Amino acid sequence: MIQIRNVPEGIHRQLKARAALEGMSMSLYILHEMEKALGRARRQDVLEAIARRPKVILDPPPADVIREGREERGP
């Protein structure tokens, strides 16, 4: 059992309204939202996965390509 105290009135109203729109009790709606949150990757996990990827070196560098395009376009 989980109990949350001191939920601000505005948040309580929003949760109640969203639950009603989904045709759920507020408890069931919050449970579904928690399940969705747990199904998403944690920020730290995503950053670690990115750090493990091999570095990519673009040739020519993107800044050079952008600069050339701007020069071709003119002022």
Query: pLDDT tens, 28-39?
Result: 999 999 999 999
Give the chain's mean pLDDT. Answer: 94
- Those residues with Cβ within 8 angstroms of residue 15's Cβ, 6 or more apart along the chain or in another chain: 7, 26, 29, 30
- What is the rounded CA–CA span in Å between residue 75 and residue 70? 8
Predicted local confidence at residue 74, as pLDDT: 77
pTM, two decimals, is: 0.62
Task: Please write the tens of the pLDDT for every residue from 46-66.
Answer: 999 999 999 999 999 999 999
